[in-house]
Amino acid sequence: MKPNDSALVSRVEKTIRKQCLIRPGDTLVVALSGGADSTALFDLLTRLHGYNLRLIATHLNHSLRGAESDADEEFCRLLAERYAIPFEVRRVDIRKMAVDNRLNLEDAGRRSRIAFFDEICAKYDAAAVALAHHADDQAETVLMRLLRGSGMIGLSGMAYRNERGYVHPLLDITRIEIEQYLRNRTLEWRDDASNSDTLYLRNRIRHHLLPLLEEYNPDIRSTLTATASIIAGDEALLEELTEQAFIESCQAGDGRVVCAIGQLRRLAPALLRRVLRLAFKKLAGTLEGVSLLHIVAINALIDSARPNSHQALPQGVTVAREYDNLLFIRNDYAVIDTDFELLITKPGSYRLPCGGSLTIDKNSSTAVLKDPYSVCLDLNKFQFPWLLRTFRPGDRMTQFGMTGRKKVKDIFIDRKIPLSERRLIPLLFCGEDLVWIAGVSASESSRIDTPSDAMVQVFWHPRTRSIKNTISSKLFQLERLNQEER
Q: What is the pLDDT along the chain (486 residues), one digit of tens a residue?
A: 554 578 999 999 999 999 999 999 999 999 999 999 999 999 999 999 999 999 999 999 998 888 999 999 999 999 999 999 999 999 999 999 999 988 888 889 999 999 999 999 999 999 999 999 999 999 999 999 999 888 888 899 999 999 888 999 999 999 999 999 999 999 999 987 777 777 778 889 999 999 999 999 999 999 999 999 999 999 999 999 999 999 999 999 878 899 999 999 999 999 999 999 999 999 998 888 888 899 999 999 999 888 888 899 999 899 999 888 999 988 876 454 457 889 999 999 999 887 789 999 986 554 555 677 899 999 999 999 999 999 998 999 999 999 999 999 999 988 888 877 888 899 999 999 999 999 999 999 999 888 888 899 999 998 765 555 555 443 444 444 444 444
Same CATH topology for 3-229 and 254-330?
no
d(CA 55, CA 464): 44
> Where does 93-219 have alpha helices with state H?
94-100, 105-123, 135-148, 152-155, 175-184, 201-204, 210-214
- pLDDT in the model for residue 465: 54
Domain 254-330 annotated CATH 3.30.465.60: yes
Regarding pTM above 0.75, the answer is: no
Pairing state of beta strands 87-91 and 54-61?
parallel
All structural domains of the chain with their residue ranges: 3-229, 254-330, 341-485
- pLDDT in the model for residue 467: 58
Residue 407 half-sphere exposure toward CB, CA atoms < 13 A: 7
Domain 3-229 annotated CATH 2.10.109.10: no
Q: Which of 127, 125, 111, 62 is nearest to 90 (CA)?
A: 62
d(CA 159, CA 153): 10
Report CA-CA distances (Å) from 471 to 199, 391, 418, 424, 474: 57, 16, 9, 12, 9
d(CA 247, CA 235): 18
